[in-house]
Structure 1
Amino acid sequence: MMGHASALRCDLLVVGGGINGAGIARDAAGRGLSVVLCEQDDLAAHTSSASSKLIHGGLRYLQYGELGLVRKALREREVLMRSAPHLIRPLRFVLPQLPGLRPAWMLRCGLFLYDHLARRELLPGSSHINLRTHAAGLPLANGIDSGFVYADAAVDDARLVVLNALDAHERGAVILPRTRCVSMYASDNAWHATLRSEDGRATMVEARCVVNATGAWALDLLKQAQVPSQRQLRMVKGSHIVVPRLFQHDEAYLFQNDDDRIVFALPFEQHYTLIGTTDVEFTEDPRRVSISAEETTYLCNISNRYFRKQISPADVVWNYAGIRPLLDDGAGNAQAVTRDYELHTDTATAPLLSVFGGKVTTYRKLAEEALDRIAQLIDVPGAAWTSAACLPGGDILGAAPANASVLQFGDFIQRLQRQYPWLPAPLTQRYARAYGTRVHKLLASCHSLADLGVALAPGLHEGELHYLMDNEWARSAHDVLWRRSKLGLQAPASAARLIDAWMQRHLRQTPVSAAGGRHA
């Protein structure tokens, strides 16, 4: 049923609720612009929740000569770690050396560059290791005797998007998930857009400037707005599999393969190993992307080449695939296509900025550059600010980002355990990593585990569901089990139905505001 139309006027309409759109909305709101963000599905529903869950410089990009991209990513790596020490944690990688692949001198040279292209304060440099004696060598197959270790960081990618949207909202932005931009035209140097939510309600938006952060749909939006573009996107599918844990230590692996690709094997959600990714050309509907049987076999085969414990497709407990909408730079194969981004402005009818390409690690810098570009098109009151600000929950040691909040995050967990002694240790640790200091808001009215309410799935209580619906735009079991958390890995098959029913009852009892929160 069609609902009544409402109207909004703003400085900036951001179309797309992935990492780039959320990051731009946050930066813009913090600079004093009025912002509306719309996303056709849930926040981070597509590419931004289908990454390798890493904040990294991109070691393999060095072989394609992308020193500028790697340097930029390495600089951002530590900026982001300080801003979100709860979501982003240091991770050591083991790079085994195999005969016939990249020789040791090449790996050593690449790692030397990786260590020195940008200043490091939080992460150690690389070194050579003897895998016959190192603990990381125990799970590996016979004959893998030497390798290297280096450092990057792990991230909860979907939660990173949500926290950027939350920060934008708390700075005044209107966040509209599950709301599609169905039409857009320019008149009198402004954009007039019609947004339609999943329940049929229409919102008319007049914006001084539009940001096209729709990823795989970027060219479609330009066509809708009748803005010509010479850019071409190259859709590359990346798929991952999750299997029961293949090793017990907390380090990750980077494996080389004969086809010149590299594959990560990461410790994941305590009991699992995440393996990926692939690079496959994709020409179908981005909304219907999934892993193929060939990709699953490919990832299992690489794992079996390196690990003693052998796996087959039958061992896969979860898989996911996403589309990387990369700028077509004419590279011969998918893995060589640049992961750098390009911002393009069009002012022929009204100011519009389009985002092409990009990766999770460089999203903050991309947003900062986007706002600097927008400042050339419309008045922007404030200056760049995000490099010196924490994301929601990241203010472990105060409002300013700090190295100690990363290096001493364990102390924060211990403080939480003392403050909430009734909370089981696994919940304390998960809440600390997911919510940071916002855990105090989640537990504000709780004095015992019973106060968190019934557990609708292992480790998922009603109190957390209330929090996710009221503060993080969660509206379905899938939003909660696979994006706001990864509790779906351990939840029984019946949990989704129970959670959906509970959430629908809560929605009927509590009117939802346009910004995604609820009215008291």
Structure 2
Amino acid sequence: MTMEQEQYDVVVVGGGVNGTGIAMDAAGRGLKVLLCEMNDLASATSSNSSKLIHGGLRYLEHYEFRLVQKALAERESLLKNSPHIMWPMRFRLPHRPHLRPAWMIRAGLFLYDHLAKREILPGSRSIRFEKSGPLKPDLTKGFEYSDGWVDDARLVVLTAKKAQQFGAKIMTRTKCVNAKRGDKNWKITLRDMVSQGEKTVSAKVIVNASGPWVSKLFGETLSMPAPKMIRMVKGSHIVVPRLNQEQEAYILQNKDERIVFVIPYEDHFSLIGTTDVEYEGDPKKAKISAEETNYLLDIVNEHFIRQLKPSDVVWSYSGVRPLMDGEEENAQKASRDYAFEINQEKGKAPLISVFGGKITTYRKLAEVATDKLCQFFPEASGHWTKAASLPGGDFDNHDGLTTTLRQEFPWLPDDVLSRYVRTYGTTSRDILSRSESLEDLGIHFAGTLYEKEVLHLTKNEWAMTSEDILWRRTKQGLYASESNVKALDAYLADKVSSSIPSNPLHQSA
């Protein structure tokens, strides 16, 4: 059977966190699923977040109690299901009484502690900052509360892997260029963005989960007007050498009522963000501006003893958040909630579109979206994802897995072992098997990145370029020189391209 004859229950357009989440849930309920992504998985919004699993403390000021409650309820499920790429984190909030009175912060934290059930995350408390700490001496009092950290791009990749394990076909570098609606099926034209070859498949339902492109897809591909327009808001982040050696993150208030996070990042760095700037244009071309960099540095410099300059920034990134377009006068008040539109013309194949959303609620969004899908597939099974671990997440805690792997691979350096645990969890063994020394891992490219891991990523995680590997899969780009990147590019072109399985567009079923 050729690709032209392949039929699916569902074709999901978009390889971000929402698209992969829906593909995973639907495949796990027994539906035949294809997901197409025109670039790499998590190549846009889903790899450019603040990398937090959080309820959104500041959303309480905008009275988004339902969204905060929904996100808080999701935190612990996610932390339990993916302990390798997510973990609890404490946040310290310095008190600046001229910005928000203490009673207001206490009230907000009380709600944050009690809007949803907590089992593993401790509650909030008042704290005093030590004079020997990283903050300026006039900041003496504050508050501390719990949220979580996530490696956002790996969350997307592992969700796609889970979908694949249930039979979903994941097609990266594959663009949905046309979809024609029939009585019972969509006829969908897919283009391989590498070879430019095209094939056609059919599906009973299309799910438009294309994030910042969700409205654009209607006119360009589906030949119909968009039922909603999204509001594109750019959020930018900077990475600097580590500002504080403690494991806690900081949440800093600013006079414009926004907040900025300073988060421990990849052992030796601090991640600072985010901004909220209205954006127009191609989401893939979003970049941080000098004004945004200075904005973030100014807020940090108001709080920390160590003063930062633009030259201290070792990396920056920007992502475009597709928010539901309301009547709010500024970007920071735009809702982070999500909505669905079901287009179901009488006697025609249906279309489901996803608008908005945030990483913390991705599993719940996928569950609700798949419920809507299952209206058209009564034979599908029910909910299953709340307690489902992602690949590599079948262990209890980092320390225990680290101890076990150190016993199995005593030759492995601590920094490599630590990163493998928080990147691959128990699937670290897939890379380390049949290795008895560091030399067995092959060529050293940068940081803790070796040849066997590169081969694993190209074979099992859809990685094709140095950017896929250095930034979205491993974050070892933080340690890679220009010559390191060129060496990896050359290796991928010479050694790997011939061994990567061809795009499914060129395969028979």
TM-score, normalising length: structure 1:
0.94
Question: For residue 174 of structure 1, what is the aligned residue in structure 2?
Answer: 169
Structure 1 residue 188 displacement after superposition: 2.1
Cα deviation 1:211-268 (Å, max 9, x = unaligned): 0000111111122212333312111000000111111111000000000000000011
Structure 1 residue 514 displacement after superposition: 4.1
Where 1:369 maps in the other structure, the secondary structure is: helix
Q: Which runs of 5+ in 1 are unaligned?
A: 397-404
Preserved CA contact (<8 Å) 1:470 1:517: no
Where 2:401 maps in the other structure, the secondary structure is: helix
Query: Please, which of 300, 309, 322 is the counterpart of residue 312 of structure 1?
Result: 309
| 1:139 is aligned to 2:134 | yes
Question: For residue 418 of structure 1, what is the aligned residue in structure 2?
Answer: 407
What amino acid does structure 2 have at the position aligned with 1:390? S
How far apart in 2 are the matches of 1:151 and 1:380?
41
Structure 1 residue 335 displacement after superposition: 0.2
| 1:340 is aligned to 2:337 | yes
Structure 1 residue 287 displacement after superposition: 1.9
| 1:453 is aligned to 2:442 | yes
Preserved CA contact (<8 Å) 2:89 2:149: yes
Query: Please, which of 105, 111, 114 is the counterpart of residue 113 of structure 1?
Result: 111
Query: Please, which of 286, 289, 293 is the counterpart of residue 286 of structure 2?
Result: 289
Structure 1 residues 43, 7: closer, same or farther in 2, change over 3 A?
farther
Preserved CA contact (<8 Å) 2:128 2:142: yes
The 5-angstrom pairing of residues 374-389 of structure 1 reads 374-389=373-388
Structure 1 residue 516 displacement after superposition: 11
Where 1:509 maps in the other structure, the secondary structure is: coil
How far apart in 1 are the matches of 2:497 and 2:264?
39
Question: For residue 215 of structure 2, what is the aligned residue in structure 1?
Answer: 219
Query: Please, which of 69, 72, 88 is the counterpart of residue 70 of structure 2?
Result: 72
Cα deviation 1:401-455 (Å, max 9, x = unaligned): xxxx2xx431111111111101001111100110011111111221221111111
Question: For residue 300 of structure 2, what is the aligned residue in structure 1?
Answer: 303
| 1:428 is aligned to 2:427 | no
Question: For residue 182 of structure 2, what is the aligned residue in structure 1?
Answer: 187
After TM superposition, the structure 1 stretch with the greater mean CA deviation from structure 2, 438-447 or 463-472, is 438-447
Question: For residue 202 of structure 2, what is the aligned residue in structure 1?
Answer: 206
Structure 1 residues 517, 185: closer, same or farther in 2, change over 3 A?
closer
Structure 1 residue 517 displacement after superposition: 13
| 1:473 is aligned to 2:473 | no
Preserved CA contact (<8 Å) 2:25 2:385: yes
Q: Which runs of 5+ in 2 are unaligned?
A: none
The 5-angstrom pairing of residues 81-160 of structure 1 reads 81-132=79-130, 138-160=133-155
Question: For residue 400 of structure 1, what is the aligned residue in structure 2?
Answer: none
What amino acid does structure 1 have at the position aligned with 2:492? M
Structure 1 residue 189 displacement after superposition: 2.2
How far apart in 1 are the matches of 2:285 and 2:500?
32
Structure 1 residue 513 displacement after superposition: 4.4
Structure 1 residues 511, 312: closer, same or farther in 2, change over 3 A?
closer
What amino acid does structure 1 have at the position aligned with 2:175? R
Cα deviation 1:124-167 (Å, max 9, x = unaligned): 0000001146x7xx100121010000010111000000000011
What amino acid does structure 2 have at the position aligned with 1:104? A
How far apart in 2 are the matches of 1:446 and 1:515?
31
Query: Please, which of 245, 251, 266 is the counterpart of residue 248 of structure 1?
Result: 245
Identity %: 50
Structure 1 residues 286, 416: closer, same or farther in 2, change over 3 A?
same
How far apart in 2 are the matches of 1:515 and 1:469?
15
Question: For residue 399 of structure 1, what is the aligned residue in structure 2?
Answer: none
Where 2:361 maps in the other structure, the secondary structure is: helix
Question: For residue 372 of structure 2, what is the aligned residue in structure 1?
Answer: 373
Query: Please, which of 47, 52, 59 is the counterpart of residue 57 of structure 2?
Result: 59
Where 2:429 maps in the other structure, the secondary structure is: helix
What amino acid does structure 2 have at the position aligned with 1:461? Y
Preserved CA contact (<8 Å) 1:33 1:380: no
Cα deviation 1:268-315 (Å, max 9, x = unaligned): 111111100000001122121000110000000001000000011111
Cα deviation 1:175-203 (Å, max 9, x = unaligned): 11111111111012211111111212222
Query: Please, which of 275, 279, 294 is the counterpart of residue 278 of structure 1?
Result: 275
How far apart in 2 are the matches of 1:368 and 1:19?
13
Preserved CA contact (<8 Å) 1:132 1:146: no
Where 1:388 maps in the other structure, the secondary structure is: coil
How far apart in 1 are the matches of 2:42 and 2:408?
33
Preserved CA contact (<8 Å) 2:216 2:226: no
Structure 1 residue 205 displacement after superposition: 1.3
Cα deviation 1:43-64 (Å, max 9, x = unaligned): 0000000000100010000011
How far apart in 2 are the matches of 1:132 and 1:382?
55
How far apart in 1 are the matches of 2:378 and 2:477?
45
| 1:164 is aligned to 2:159 | yes
Query: Please, which of 7, 11, 14 is the counterpart of residue 9 of structure 2?
Result: 11
Preserved CA contact (<8 Å) 1:276 1:299: yes
Cα RMSD over matched residues? 1.7
TM-score, normalising length: structure 2:
0.96
Structure 1 residues 380, 311: closer, same or farther in 2, change over 3 A?
farther
Where 1:62 maps in the other structure, the secondary structure is: helix
How far apart in 1 are the matches of 2:390 and 2:467?
24
